[in-house]
């Protein structure tokens, strides 16, 4: 069976290529990029009706396959590609003979001459600057607009300088914060490692006594991550970090710290190790992003290490809650019984059972699915070379 190819319309700038694939209601679109080519396939409504379409292109020069991607909308698919070296290509494909289905997108077509025409319009007064200044002096007695222009330039430069200093201050603060948190977790892992190496399994029951206060300090400090998006230091919503930090602090302060019988439990040691390993990857990853350095291994660990650690962390936290239920039932801690001034009742044991169900079922699913989407988005492009961004056209 002959492979069907859709019509492809291409355009370029000095730095980028844009390929528009003429397919409507496309499904299962896949684009495999390499530095010299692209292989595309999708099902949709094209020149031959509803069919499976595919094509392969070998480019005239090299492209940046790591950043290439595509966007699917209702009536087309756009492949967005960056050239490895900025240059105007005389043609898209390597061979002089192009496929019959490859067309020029005249609506977006630009050449090197077009780019030059889009520069700032030429001012003839700049060609005769001295003559124009003398004419203004003779006619007006001063050079028109010079004083105002200087004031406006000074004001613009002042504003630019202010925002530049503010952004640099934010960046320095974020570097210091992430570095400090990394050092904090590294210190606790080092202490636990030294104790375990020296005393063996006997040290497990003493871990909370040795690193409990340090854990409480860094966990409280993590509430700054709730404030960061509120004040524009980071992007995103403060809701997600609030629930993440509060969930850990609920376990640490209410389930462990306030129940002395939990301090020597091995599960406390396990949850401390799991939390620390997650953060010993997360904070260096954030530092590398702030410094503009992409470390492949660190990126892979950031979006992969959660696969074994998150289920173990959820399991450990669930065990801590289960072990606390008989203790709280015995001491009636946090339980409000009738009669009382406010005429209300609250059963902490029932609350913990409900919390445990929410943690294990919807809570773990939401966290794991969120991280899986992030991993597919971050690693799917660089590793598998498959770029698939499903955006619904407005």
CA distance 79 to 324: 55
Q: Evaluate whether 6 touches 96 at the Cβ level (below 8 Å).
A: no
Q: DSSP letter string over 34-68?
A: -SSEEEEEEEEEETTEEEEEEEEEEBSS-B-TTT-
Q: How does DSSP classify residue 383?
A: T
Among 180, 184, 324, residue whose Cα is nearest residue 252: 324
**What beta strand segments (E) does the chain contain?**
8-12, 16-21, 24-33, 37-46, 49-58, 69-72, 77-82, 102-104, 389-390
- Is-catalytic flag, 45? no
Q: State the Cα angle at 151 between 147 and 154, rounded to 5°.
A: 140
Q: DSSP 3-state assignment of 18?
A: strand
Catalytic residue, candidates 317, 327, 330, 355: 317
Would residue 317 show up in a list of annotated catalytic residues for this protein? yes
The active-site residue, picked from 45, 310, 327, 355, is 310
User: Which residue numbers are catalytic?
Assistant: 310, 317
């Amino acid at each position: 069976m002959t492979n069907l190819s859709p019509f492809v319309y291409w355009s370029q700038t000095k730095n980028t290529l844009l390929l528009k694939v003429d397919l409507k209601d496309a499904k299962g679109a896949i684009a495999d990029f390499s530095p010299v080519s692209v292989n595309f396939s999708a099902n949709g409504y094209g020149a031959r009706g509803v069919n499976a379409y595919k094509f392969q292109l070998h480019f005239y020069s090299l492209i940046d396959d790591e950043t290439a991607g595509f966007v699917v909308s209702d009536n087309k698919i756009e492949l967005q590609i960056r050239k490895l070296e900025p240059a105007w290509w005389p043609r898209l494909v390597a061979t002089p003979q192009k496929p019959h289905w490859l067309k020029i997108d005249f609506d977006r077509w630009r050449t090197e001459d077009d780019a030059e025409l889009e520069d700032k319009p030429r001012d003839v007064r700049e060609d005769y600057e001295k003559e124009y200044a003398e004419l203004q002096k003779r006619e007006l007695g001063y050079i028109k607009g010079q004083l105002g222009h200087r004031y406006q330039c000074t004001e613009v430069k002042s504003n630019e300088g202010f925002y530049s200093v503010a952004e640099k201050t934010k960046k320095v603060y974020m570097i210091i914060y992430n570095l400090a948190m990394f050092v904090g977790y590294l210190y606790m892992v080092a202490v636990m490692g030294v104790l375990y190496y020296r005393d063996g399994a006997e040290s497990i029951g003493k871990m909370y006594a040795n690193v409990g206060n340090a854990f409480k300090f860094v966990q409280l400090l993590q509430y700054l991550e709730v404030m960061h998006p509120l004040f524009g230091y980071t992007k995103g919503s403060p809701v997600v970090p609030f629930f993440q930090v509060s969930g850990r602090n609920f376990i640490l302060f209410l389930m462990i710290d306030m129940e002395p019988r939990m301090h020597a439990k091995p599960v406390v040691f396990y949850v401390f190790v799991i939390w620390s390993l997650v953060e010993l990857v997360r904070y260096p990853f954030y530092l590398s992003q702030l410094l503009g350095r992409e470390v492949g291994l660190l990126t892979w660990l950031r979006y992969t290490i959660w696969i074994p650690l998150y289920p173990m962390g959820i399991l450990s936290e669930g065990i801590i809650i289960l072990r606390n239920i008989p203790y709280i039932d015995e001491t009636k801690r946090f339980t409000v019984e009738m009669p009382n001034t406010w005429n209300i009742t609250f059963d902490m044991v029932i609350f913990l059972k409900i919390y445990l169900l929410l943690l294990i079922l919807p809570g773990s699913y939401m966290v794991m699915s969120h991280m899986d989407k992030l991993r597919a988005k971050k690693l799917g492009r660089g590793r598998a070379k498959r770029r698939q961004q499903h955006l619904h056209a407005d």
